[in-house]
Amino acid sequence: MKKNTLFILLFAIAPAVLPIAHAQYHFSAQVDDLAKAVEPKVIEWRRHLHQYPELSNREFKTAEYIAQYLRTLDLEVQTGVAHTGVVGILRTGKPGPVVALRADMDGLPVVERVDLPFASKEKSTYQGQNVGVMHACGHDTHVAMLMGAARVLTQMKDQLKGTVVFIFQPAEEGAPPGENGGAKMMVEEGVLKNNKVDVIFGLHINSATEAGSIRYKPGGALAAADRFVITVKGKQTHGSTPWTGVDPVIVAAQIIQGLQFIVSRQTELTKEAAVISVGRIQGGVRNNIIPEEVEMEGTIRTLDKDMQAKLHADIHRTATNIAESMGATAEVEIFKYVPVTYNDPKLTDEMLPIIIATAGRENIILSRAITGAEDFSFFAREVPGLFLFVGGMKPGQDPATAAPHHTPDFVIDESGMLLGVRTLCNLTLDYISRR
């Protein structure tokens, strides 16, 4: 359901919207035809990628699949960027801006539970554990949509100027511990600087937003994400005589409770949202041995730099003091992963008319910031960026019944990908045409 205030806002800017949308009509009409023509291939690509997902920094077959296709478009193709990334470059031969379009490639260590003929049966190893692999966040759709956009824009090359850079990025979900990767590494290797990129656009499918809709948020749109590891050290003993040792399992449980009190009782949530979640806890080898050590790992999500610093300090204090009070010790390590994903307000305002023209005014949703995170933020720190959410939920479905991202039941309605292709193309054409 759309907010009434959004309709008032869009009505107020309608006079500014219409001339721009009309000026781009010849582009939009051709994009619509070409995108519709390539839609069956986009679905085919997505299903292949969904069936054969690969984990972060291990997207070898995915990269080969993408690169092979981009070469058929006569694009300049670079491989092995940030380990497994692929970059396709469309040079028009005419002076103009450089627009980058980005999609992420990696799957997650999740066992798929969705009954699909192209469901993943892939297995891999993650942090020493045998795991299933699934595109449980929609990155397969992102790749397929960008491949479709590359096809459309290549077919419209004579109407373009400047350069379009198609970035297929590995390891958005985070490189394995001890490895570099993702958008940060692509930036470090010069994917933006070497190509003299002026602006970058990205999309993310959303399982709880109706297909045909687009969500946007100027300014800070997604949270900063940090990873923490807490190692609790006690004294190993027999499980039948816990008083002869120090039980790190019990200490870890108390620390987990204490971490939640940081958010619920020590953080000013009326200012910005914040999240501390423990996603992994490991310790012990037998049921009758109290182990010497327990390790837990989790994520911190913040939308404010001061709050981020406060939560880091609070986690250190809480974990070490609880452990000390119970005769154990706790070592806390916090690794900054991604900053806040920031949509340049000026760029957002500039591109809003073509977004409205593409999706329809009634399908545009002005969102609040969310505690999800995206390493697209590293690109957007270097050049103006705009990151949008495109709907991937079956029309008419109750969003409350949609399986969340990163879960075994995550599913996407493939009809939403056509809008993604059209949006990437129209953002590019509109930006280039006015420079």
The residue-averaged pLDDT of 341-364 equals 97
- The pLDDT tens digits of the residues spanning 357-372 come to 999 999 999 999 999 9
Q: How confident is the model at residue 24 (pLDDT cuts 50, 70, 90)?
A: low
CATH architecture group of domain 224-338:
2-Layer Sandwich (3.30)
Q: For the domain bounded by 4-222+340-433, which CATH number is listed?
A: 3.40.630.10
| Predicted structure pTM score | 0.90
- The share of the chain scoring above pLDDT 70, in percent, equals 94
- How far is Cα 102 from Cα 163, in angstroms, rounded to an integer? 14
Give the pLDDT of residue 177: 87
Measured CA distances, 283 to 99, 128, 195, 280 (Å): 48, 14, 47, 10
- The pLDDT tens digits of the residues spanning 123-162 come to 999 989 999 999 999 999 999 999 999 999 999 999 999 9
Q: How confident is the model at residue 16 (pLDDT cuts 50, 70, 90)?
A: very low
Q: How confident is the model at residue 10 (pLDDT cuts 50, 70, 90)?
A: very low
Strand pairing of 385-393 and 199-210? parallel
Give the pLDDT of residue 22: 45
Positions annotated as catalytic residues are 106, 172
Query: Which residue matches tokens 């997650």?
Result: 108
Q: Cβ neighbours of residue 176 under 8 Å, at least 6 residues apart?
A: 55, 56, 57, 126, 127
Domain ranges of the chain: 4-222+340-433, 224-338
